[in-house]
Structure 1
Amino acid sequence: MVGSLECKIDDISEKLEKLCFMIEDVNSGLIEPKRPPDVATPNDDAGAAATRTPRVSGHVGEGLTGNQNIEHEGETSLAAHANFTTQILENAVITDASMSRQGEMALMIRDIRHAINPTSDPGFDATDSHYATPTSINQPLQPFLPPIQLTLNCLRMLKENPVMRYFWAMEFESIGQVTEQLLSAYATDRQSSTAEWIITYIGLHYLFTQGSQFAADSVTQERYAAQIVDCRKSADAVLARLPLHIPSTMDYVLALTLATQYCMGQCKATMAWTYISTASRMSQAMGLHQIACRQGHDFDADARQKTKLFFAIMILEKNLSLQLGRSSTLRDHDLGVPLKDIRMGHQVGGSLGIMSPKWLQISQIEGRVYEEIYSPAALQQPPSQRNARANLLASGLKTIIQESRPFESEFLRERRRAVGEKLDDLLTQCDKVSNLSLMCLIYSGVSVDNAPFCDECIDTARQALAEHAKTELELLGSLVNSLEAGQNQDTFSASRLLRTIKPLYTAALKYIEMKSQAAPTATNISFETIYQETASTTAPGPVDGRHFGLLLNLE
């Protein structure tokens, strides 16, 4: 059984594949002006009627709808990227003389936009959508647990496999804690609480997902895959029954934090924010922030668990607050110790999902970007004051990136040992691009002589593109080859990732080939021209920092 999100990805992949075939036909001169019969033609106003494209003036503007009052729900950041990128692609096809003659290609791009935003379909069924409630709370909950032997086998793999340990959920402190939490629901002498069921089902979902990637044979992999589906159904059912009034306990704080990551994995950002903001307030009510910032104690098992859980909450909460344009519920003045001096409470190599103090410092910057630069109150401040704040944040981020401490060096060495050189190189490159993207977002709030971008913003964007270029087509092709080679071992999510990435890779190669063979009048079109036309078409309004933040941050 494939979830609604994966069905959506399949739909987009299918349309991308058709677009690739059309590009190939254009290249060979075999295309006919006939629309594929199995793709419904959206009306002329379909994209404008339901699009939630964010707006950023000068940089990016408001959506085609002009509807300013729609509350962003669900896939906010991803939808913002997809809608705006699709609009740029549409303008590129329309502007390019060699492609604008093929009306079917532009129509196919509109169909991709329609697939990205299915709510624009007049026949859209909300009960069958990604946003529907998983299970009616009126239906009786029938607790399901995977066979105990399968669970024990995966727990043994987690204990022995360094890659699984490294990528395990950062909310847990040790293998012992994972075992205790996931096996507690198997006890027959007592009734498990709602929090315990949430921890068990989401934890088992994650455990079997990882275990299926390291299964010894296809039969075991299929058994694990079946458990993944069942655990997802059970997790959705329990979350749908989560009461409004929740007691402030460690189990509920852990359950809500795990639910946050679970929802982020399904691109349900607003629901994730509901869970993490509640977990944040509960953790502060229980004094976890004081325990995490305490100095001079021995960090016993209880203190380590509470410390790591609180910092996991902090990383998730600050990131989501920036993505969604919400004020953080964790105030910096409630942390009594500078984050660079925080003791993590665990030894590198001896625990799960090791966190670096640098992540905490960057998350603190993320929490301040919206509040100090893009919040409604910040936008009312004089440009000089906003510029000063932005420059101060950028300077602080540069210091964090460049600073090297003994624990950070040890963390990087352990990561390389655990995941291998190639994957570690990829993670390092992703860190660079992510940090530069955040820097670019900060500098975009600097206004100089009414220019849309300051020089620092443009320079940082170029650095980010230069770093990104190192992982462009060659590494994308390498990733496609790797996914193809491991189709029999990977999860169904990886196979759908292949179905999404491969058409994009093929289309990119074909597009470059077509441009190289096109007429000079077609190849002289610059990206700046396309961008300006896109911005003027979709974004005539003033700067909206919250929406701009959505454009530059993926979930």
Structure 2
Amino acid sequence: MATERDDASPSSDREVDNVPQDEQLCDRCRRRKVRCDRRHPCAYCVRTENLCTYPPRHKPKERRQRVFISEIYEKKIDDIAQKLAELSNTLGAGQNPTLHVVPEATASKIPSQPASTSRFAPVTQASSPSPSNGVGSQLLTPRLEHEGESSLSAQAAFANGFLEDAIINKPNGIDIAADMSSVLQSLRKALGRDSNQQELDYLYPHARVLESGLTLRNLPMPPVDKAFVCLRMAKENPRVRFFWDNEATSFTDVFLKVYSPGEVTHADLIAVNAGLYWLFRQCKQIAVDSCQKADLEAQAVMCRDNLETVLANLPFHQPCNIGTVASMMVASIYCLETCKPSAAWNFIATASHLSQTLGMHSKIAMARDPLDIRMGKIRIFWLVYVQEKGLSLRLGRSSTIHDGDITIPVPSIESRSEIGYFGQLDKMKELAYLQGKIYDQLYSSAALAQPQTVRTTRARSLASELEVHTNRILPSDKLYQDAMRQATSTEFVKAFLCTAKVLHLSLFCLIYRAIPAETNQGTALGRECIDSAHKALEAHKEWQSVVAELQDDFLETYVNLALIHSPFVPFIVVFCHIIETGDKNGLDLLESVIKTLQPVTDSAFSSGAKKEFHLFKALYDAARNYLEARLSKVNIGFSSWENASSSAHVPSPTHQQPALPMPIFNLPNSQTSVSTSLEGTAEWMDQQMEVPGMDTDIDQYGAQLGNWLHMNNQMTRALEDSYFWDDLA
């Protein structure tokens, strides 16, 4: 008994006190199988004088929690996706060792972004040549890319070689070589020739970085209420309605699709972001309040960044449908506005191939399509045709569309609302057709192999066709001008007509460039070419006087139409004529172009105009400094210049720069170094012109035309590279 009492512990007492007595028997009563009254102590333990203890009570089971399997799986899937992304980046870095990525701290953020946009880091161009971290920054434009003989690159490279030839080989040239050394160095830098290191050019500098687990569907879009306000302005405001009409891409339907839940395609995102980008910019031009202007510009910047992000992540294979064709055309227009003509060509060539695959150029292929679908296809095809032919001439590449395969007509205007977008389609189609013929008959490789008499005959025939086109007035032209006058003003219509005049005179100049000068003319370029170039720049000055009276922002539109979309040859021709004859009047004409381009370079959306400005500014400075050096060094007048120009000749292939980078002329040194460089160039050209098994019967002027671009391949990237424009700014 005593032992049992001693075995009890104080903790047992505490446990027993916590046990309700009416629920269980005490330990002694349970062992002895006696009745227990379930009290503490019980009657039996009191009577036997033993310690009354109770067994410990079992703890109740904890309530089981429900396991959310979906959340666990989502976390695991995210982890797997992140690891796959890291693995992909590692493999990509191994395959592309030339790509450099700066720390994320160098990437700037877009100000005043909503909280939902914090997951995306916009990619902007840093002050250093290194790219910002992003998908778009990893897409590089090739350093050496062929552009043909009709391109602006070829013309500018020819002007550079012409200036070097004038300094080195003309009478009294060596006397001013030392003074012009720095000028030539600056011009080479503007042409991209004086860069020894391999700087990188980033195709989409504003593309966003997509974090792991996010897709293009998660891109931040402008608030829907602001988009609806601008869409309403596009319906009610005459100017916005005239200059912004995206019904060719079925914008309204695609807009609702993108802003609604569900799957969207890359083509949908391109069409909506590009359409909103141009819409916000048009609305900004008519906005009065400065705060509203700033807000519209911010929304346009967001759409621009989204558009470049989509283009940077665009897969190689695209679905073959009309929506893809329209989106590729829109992407080409955007790239051309930002002075990326090679990227614009890639997109418009894709649109051309897809449209012909769909039979959009054939009346028979679309015979069973409903009327509305057939008309939509026809309009989109002709818009692609106009863009493709213009880029073909601008870059000097063969067209992907054969005119003999086209059997569809140009659609007529069915309503007044279509005048702004399709009112000039017939006239633009005719001009695009002529642009294609100019390249095929004058500047293609097959044309350059023809005798000079054949090219001269073709050039005069094309000039006659262009003159007929320029003087021809269609009924749709009057409707278009009346609609523009009602939407804007009479001065605006005058500015538009001056723009068309500059564009046509620029094409005249390019045509006459293929005709050599007369033997007794005494100039390197033909008289008709020089006259058309002067007329084009005089028309530019006329446009400048008209625009000075306008309150509207028309400058960017003019730059895109007259200077970026087509090779602006008159500037180059007048430049060469100044170097040859010392024409101060021509220098004033060049200055008028510089004054026109300079104001638009301050805009956030005018990267294309900025690049053209720096190129033309470098050529203008070179011409001005050359005249000053000749007049101050030799102390001669224009009569002596005429004597010097009497020995002028078109720089033959042996005096032009080769396609491969050559050492820069040692101008301050002796004449021996100059002649050595020229002899090396001649030897290189002799090797290039002799191809075993090929009969290249090309006359001297044809070879000179064919060598416009090949004397300097680095110039082919000049207008598209951004690294040296920032240095010159």
State the TM-score, normalized to the length of structure 1: 0.69
Note closer, same or farther for the CA distance 1:3–1:429 as it changes in structure 2 (3 Å cut): farther
Pairwise CA RMSD: 5.3
Select the residue among 300, 305, 312 that pairs with 1:233. 305
What CA deviation, in whole Å up to 9, does each residue of 1:405-453 have, x standing for no partner? 3223322333333332223222212222222222332333346888999
**1:180 aligned residue:** 253
Distance 1:149 1:320 in 2: 37
Between 1:392-401 and 1:534-543, the stretch displaced more is: 534-543
C-alpha contact (below 8 Å) 1:387/1:445 kept by paired residues: yes
**2:509 aligned residue:** 440
Distance 1:522 1:535 in 2: 24
After TM superposition, list the pairs within 5 Å mapping 1:416-427 onto structure 2: 416-427=485-496
- Paired-residue identity, %: 27
Note closer, same or farther for the CA distance 1:254–1:495 as it changes in structure 2 (3 Å cut): closer
Note closer, same or farther for the CA distance 1:403–1:314 as it changes in structure 2 (3 Å cut): same
Task: Look up the SS of the partner of 2:339 in the other structure.
Answer: coil
Distance 1:435 1:104 in 2: 38
Deviation at 1:312, TM superposition (A): 0.8
Select the residue among 120, 137, 145 that pairs with 1:71. 145
Task: Look up the SS of the partner of 1:239 in the other structure.
Answer: helix
1:328 aligns with 2:399: yes
Supply the AA of the counterpart residue of 2:255: L
Distance 2:611 2:346 in 1: 32
Distance 2:256 2:472 in 1: 41
C-alpha contact (below 8 Å) 1:444/1:454 kept by paired residues: no
Q: Number of residues paired by the alignment?
A: 481
After TM superposition, list the pairs within 5 Å mapping 1:288-327 onto structure 2: 288-290=360-362, 301-327=372-398
Deviation at 1:333, TM superposition (A): 1.1
Distance 2:369 2:479 in 1: 21
Task: Look up the SS of the partner of 1:207 in the other structure.
Answer: helix
Note closer, same or farther for the CA distance 1:224–1:496 as it changes in structure 2 (3 Å cut): farther
**2:357 aligned residue:** 285
Consecutive unaligned residues of structure 2, counting only runs of 5 or more, are 1-109, 111-121, 129-142, 556-594, 658-681, 686-702, 721-729
**2:704 aligned residue:** 543
Consecutive unaligned residues of structure 1, counting only runs of 5 or more, are 9-51, 53-69
Deviation at 1:162, TM superposition (A): 2.9
Supply the AA of the counterpart residue of 2:604: F
C-alpha contact (below 8 Å) 1:205/1:228 kept by paired residues: yes
1:114 aligns with 2:163: no
Deviation at 1:146, TM superposition (A): 0.9
State the TM-score, normalized to the length of structure 2: 0.54
Task: Look up the SS of the partner of 1:289 in the other structure.
Answer: coil
1:250 aligns with 2:326: no
Supply the AA of the counterpart residue of 1:163: R
Which structure has the bigger radius of gyration?
2
Supply the AA of the counterpart residue of 1:409: K
Note closer, same or farther for the CA distance 1:428–1:373 as it changes in structure 2 (3 Å cut): same
**2:289 aligned residue:** 217
What CA deviation, in whole Å up to 9, does each residue of 1:314-360 have, x standing for no partner? 000001111222221111112236x7xx3334334545423421110
Deviation at 1:238, TM superposition (A): 1.2
Distance 1:83 1:534 in 2: 14
Deviation at 1:522, TM superposition (A): 5.6
C-alpha contact (below 8 Å) 1:165/1:353 kept by paired residues: no
Task: Look up the SS of the partner of 2:315 in the other structure.
Answer: coil
Deviation at 1:77, TM superposition (A): 4.3
Q: Return the structure number with greater relative CO, CA threshold 8 A, min gap 6.
A: 1
**1:468 aligned residue:** 537
After TM superposition, list the pairs within 5 Å mapping 1:514-529 onto structure 2: 521=636, 526=641, 529=645
Select the residue among 411, 434, 437 that pairs with 1:343. 411
Deviation at 1:254, TM superposition (A): 0.7
Distance 2:343 2:282 in 1: 24
Task: Look up the SS of the partner of 1:543 in the other structure.
Answer: helix
Distance 2:500 2:334 in 1: 22
C-alpha contact (below 8 Å) 1:73/1:269 kept by paired residues: no
Deviation at 1:110, TM superposition (A): 2.8
Distance 1:470 1:443 in 2: 18
After TM superposition, list the pairs within 5 Å mapping 1:4-403 onto structure 2: 70-72=144-146, 77=151, 79-80=153-154, 83=157, 107=182, 110-111=185-186, 113-117=188-192, 120-122=194-196, 124-126=198-200, 129=202, 134=207, 140-141=214-215, 142-168=218-244, 172-173=247-248, 177-188=250-261, 190-290=262-362, 301-336=372-407, 342-356=410-424, 357-403=426-472
Deviation at 1:366, TM superposition (A): 0.9
Supply the AA of the counterpart residue of 1:165: R
Between 1:434-443 and 1:532-541, the stretch displaced more is: 532-541
